Amino acid sequence: MALDDHVAQLIEALNSQGFTSFEQLSVEQARAVIDTFTGLQAPAQDVARVVNLTFPGGGGDLPVRIYVPAAAGPVPETPLPVVLYFHGGGFIGGSIDVADEPCRAVANGTGAIVVSAEYRLAPEHRFPAAPDDACAALNWVAAHIADFGGDPDNIVIAGDSAGGNLAAVTALRARNEAGPSLRGQVLIYPVIDPSAEFPSTREYAEGYVITKRGLDWFWMQYLDAPGDASNPYAVPSRAGDPSGLPPALVLTNEYEVGRDEAEDYAARLEAAGVDATVRRFDGLVHGVFWMSGAVPRSNEVLAAVCDYIGSITVPSAVQ
């Protein structure tokens, strides 16, 4: 399918400003570019309640933001499903502020409480800091979400890009470490494996917001030692046996470097008996979930996320 017209215009605008790939930037410059994605988003939806707190991460307290959906009212009468969300940003950037608009949309679109959790960023805090924080966030949610009207037995874990990697890894660790039970995992164009070689790795290596060199640069900031690239808690496709993991929705885009590695991960899950669904969006690129105001078709991604979460979560009263 042809590249979406709105995406093509966005890429042209980036090129006209001299931006072609993240590896050309310093870490601080890359973080600043990632933060500008808020300017590509639609106005944030109103929800019933937003609570800003902290949770104990691996290196100290980290911010966490809780969204109660508009339809539930500030204090839900019955426990609601819960979505624990990790933002993208190449492991080096992004924040709960950048993810605020999509998290509000997911809360209202699913009727679930959405919990958006920060994690320590590379290169100041390399692997395994981020997955340690992600696991700490899941444990905190399971222990405390009932205080906000959420059902701790009805949790879906989700994330986009690097956050999709953390969601997949946290699901793996929860299985291995007898952690909280998960209803499912939603992996929005997750980055999976720095050594992956697939057709999309070559075909879309240049020209589509995230280049192959840019993706390699992000991984270089994140991984601390050569052996980390074979650690399943950094590269979930290296898990020897993915059986017993929660059902998964894996969303990919046609024009992205990591498309095939994400779809291959879904195939690995399915081969192990995990209920895995893949949805590829033709004509779109990596990062589109954060482009609701600039790329109208990003609503298709949001709808796929909300529909899937609605299909695997059951209101507490009818469980």
Query: End-to-end CA distance of the chain, in Å?
Result: 42
Residue 9 has pLDDT above 80, yes or no: yes
CB atoms within 10 A of CB 57: 24
What is the number of residues in the chain?
A: 319
Q: How far is CA 101 from CA 38, 225, 290, 293, in A?
A: 8, 35, 8, 10
Angle between helices 162-176 and 129-144 (to 10 degrees): 70
CB atoms within 10 A of CB 299: 13
Residue 145 has pLDDT above 80, yes or no: yes
| 3-state SS assignment for residue 256 | coil
High-pLDDT (> 70) share of the chain, %: 98
Q: In which band, very low, low, confident or very high, does the pLDDT at 64 lie, cut at 50, 70 and 90?
A: very high
Q: How far is CA 131 from CA 123, 125, 126, 235, in A?
A: 14, 11, 10, 11
Residue 297 has pLDDT above 50, yes or no: yes
Query: How much is the average pLDDT of 287-300?
Result: 98
Residue 14 has pLDDT above 80, yes or no: yes
Residue 319 has pLDDT above 50, yes or no: no
Residue 204 has pLDDT above 60, yes or no: yes
Q: In which band, very low, low, confident or very high, does the pLDDT at 134 lie, cut at 50, 70 and 90?
A: very high
- Among left, alpha and beta (phi > 0; psi -120 to 50; other), residue 183 is alpha
- pLDDT the model gives residue 20: 81
- pLDDT the model gives residue 302: 98
Q: In this predicted model, what pLDDT tens digit does every residue of 26-57 receive, in sequence order?
A: 999 999 999 999 999 999 999 999 999 999 99
Q: Which of 150, 155, 133, 126 is nearest to 61 (CA)?
A: 133
Q: How far is CA 314 from CA 17, 20, 106, 163, 317, in A?
A: 47, 44, 16, 24, 8
| 3-state SS assignment for residue 194 | coil
Q: In this predicted model, what pLDDT tens digit does every residue of 67-95 receive, in sequence order?
A: 999 999 999 999 999 999 999 999 999 99
Q: In which band, very low, low, confident or very high, does the pLDDT at 1 lie, cut at 50, 70 and 90?
A: confident
Q: In this predicted model, what pLDDT tens digit does every residue of 96-127 receive, in sequence order?
A: 999 999 999 999 999 999 999 999 999 999 99
- pLDDT the model gives residue 195: 94
What is the DSSP secondary structure assignment for residue 96, as one 8-state letter?
T
Query: How much is the average pLDDT of 186-203?
Result: 97
- pLDDT the model gives residue 270: 98
CB atoms within 10 A of CB 71: 12
Residue 316 has pLDDT above 70, yes or no: no
- pLDDT the model gives residue 315: 61
Q: In which band, very low, low, confident or very high, does the pLDDT at 318 lie, cut at 50, 70 and 90?
A: very low
| 3-state SS assignment for residue 244 | coil
Bridge partners of residue 251, in order along the sequence: 188, 279
HEC sequence for 33-72:
HHHHHHHHCCCCCCCCEEEEEEEEECCEEEEEEEEECHHH
